[in-house]
Amino acid sequence: MRKITQAKRIALHKGRETISYSWAFGRKFSIYFTKLFLYTGISANHITVLNFFIGLAAGALFTLGQPVYMLLAAMLAHIWWIIDYTDGEVARYRKSTCVTSAYLDDLTDCAMQPILLMCITFGLYSIFRSIAVFVFGFLSVIGILLISTVSMCKYEAVLHKWELAGLAKKVRGGVSKLRGNRKGRESVKESEFKSYLPRSVFIVFNHILHLSIAPGILHVMFAAALIDLVIPQIALGWPAFNWLTFNFMYLFLILYGIFSQFIWIGLAAINIKLKSADMLYNSLSRS
């Protein structure tokens, strides 16, 4: 079954210099969910929708705020991430893959990550009752949306250029090359950046980018929730601010809200500086 559902993905990941969270954890476990869903007979699109509700259930647990619920929510969010690979594997096994299914999959992914951050914000506010929680929550949601937007806009620009240039006949083949797999965008960015950036800079930036989106962000959430179960709150006595109280999930929200702004700005600057959209368009036009 792995040969049918994951062989092409394994080939795409061979030779990559950076750690792939997908293959380090997700794909190793997704195959078991895939086997289970194949017995049920439900379609890949139904799995995508079902998985979206699993993510919403994780978000609902996050809103409760208490450490034990936060930890359960983080675990459920990991299940959402693992099953996120299952719909594509089921489609490949049944030879029912299509662009619309991939669109639905990407749409639910892009929606779920900011939803989880928003739910964490409400959960933390129920504990700390501070407007600062909403400030950093807002920055976090905006940050993760802009990180996705910066990546997506490059591909929208390429497809728009194709349309204007009268290359509509190449769109179908080109989209499959753009995607590679559902996470194919990362592979394209890696090949572009590796050619123009020093290897050390590329590796550091790529790791930071992976930590700012799923599954990296989910791992950090889980670690923060696990620590909060042992150390619920930390208080710092600063004369100018009286007592500043927080926990590690709150600290995660603060740091992500701040640094995600630098990540999307840096990603946009690199794409513009390297003219990566032009490079991608030219490479696909020649093929």
| Average pLDDT along the chain, 287 residues, taken 10 residues at a time | 55 48 69 89 92 97 94 96 90 86 90 96 93 95 93 83 61 51 45 54 65 85 93 64 74 95 91 85 73
Query: What's the confidence (pLDDT) of residue 88?
Result: 87
Query: What's the confidence (pLDDT) of residue 136?
Result: 96
* Amino acid identity at 126: S
Query: What's the confidence (pLDDT) of residue 93?
Result: 87
Query: What's the confidence (pLDDT) of residue 186?
Result: 44
Q: Is residue 171 classed exposed, middle or buried when 0-12, 13-18 and 19+ CB atoms within 10 A define those classes?
A: middle
Domain positions in the chain: 2-286
Assign 97 to helix, strand or coil. coil
Q: Is residue 218 classed exposed, middle or buried when 0-12, 13-18 and 19+ CB atoms within 10 A define those classes?
A: buried
**Domain 2-286 coded CATH 1.20.120.1760:** yes
Query: What's the confidence (pLDDT) of residue 185?
Result: 45
**What is the maximal distance between C-alpha atoms in the chain?**
67
